[in-house]
């Protein structure tokens, strides 16, 4: 992202520094569910290749025994827990507990001991126990994959940083239905909220 045409003003203002990888990373996979993998519903753009890269990142995290959390958007069947988010995007109300669209994609199916976060907002942290769970797991770094980059990934990244976790966006493991918002939000997160690293860079940093 250093080649961004407006990167120089951020550099002059001292932004874009690195927080680095801590000693106890955790992986948070945001909303890689069937509905977001399908362009006919909530998907499109580069979400499919991001899922494919996340399969490999998840295998790496499991091998290294990282804590792993998966988030899903889940609303009550009658919409009783719906808020303004669903006024902006009413089709989200389809994502109920049993709806096939709200199920985590099979290739990323949670393993025993991995935490499933059910949320009604954009951030995986808002109104959930994710921060407490990560603290219980003694995590000091949160590696984020998922979708969409400009929406629930960004909201989760900002809240991760605000909970004082070092935060890393796995750049090829996040996707959006449109590439413009994807690129713009990666750049902005890298300047203010998170380190940007590819899956391979993360693996090299951990494995030495």
- Catalytic annotation on 173? no
Whether 171 contacts 197, CB under 8 Å: yes
Token look-up 């407490």 returns: 132
Counting Cα atoms < 13 Å in the Cβ hemisphere of 46 gives 18
Whether 59 contacts 180, CB under 8 Å: no
| Residue 178: both structure tokens together | 């449109």
- Strand-pair partners of 71: 30, 117
Token look-up 């909970």 returns: 163
Counting Cα atoms < 13 Å in the Cβ hemisphere of 125 gives 19
- Among candidate residues 152, 153, 168, 169, the one labeled active-site is 152
CB-based burial of residue 185 (10 Å sphere; 0-12 exposed, 13-18 middle, 19+ buried)? buried
Nearest to 155 by CA among 130, 123, 185: 123
Distance in angstroms between the alpha carbons of the first and the last residue of the chain:
24
Looking at the annotation, which residues are catalytic? 152
């Amino acid at each position: 992202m250093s080649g961004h045409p407006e990167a120089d003003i951020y550099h002059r203002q001292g932004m874009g520094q690195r927080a680095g990888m801590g000693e106890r990373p955790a992986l948070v996979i945001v909303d890689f569910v069937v509905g977001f993998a399908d362009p006919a519903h909530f998907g499109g753009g580069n979400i499919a290749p991001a899922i494919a890269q996340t399969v490999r990142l998840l295998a790496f995290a499991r091998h290294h025994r990282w804590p792993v959390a998966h988030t899903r958007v889940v609303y009550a069947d009658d919409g009783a827990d719906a808020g303004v988010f669903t006024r902006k995007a009413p089709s989200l109300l389809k994502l109920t507990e049993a709806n096939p669209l709200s199920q985590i994609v099979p290739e990323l199916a949670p393993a025993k001991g991995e935490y499933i976060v059910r949320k009604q907002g954009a951030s995986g942290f808002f109104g959930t126990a994710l921060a407490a769970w990560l603290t219980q797991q003694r995590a000091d770094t949160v590696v984020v994959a998922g979708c969409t980059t400009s929406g629930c990934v960004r909201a989760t990244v900002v809240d991760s940083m605000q909970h004082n976790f070092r935060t890393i966006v796995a750049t090829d493991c996040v996707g959006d239905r449109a590439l413009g918002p994807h690129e713009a939000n990666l750049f902005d997160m890298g300047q203010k909220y998170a380190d940007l690293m590819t899956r391979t860079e993360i693996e090299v940093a951990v494995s030495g």
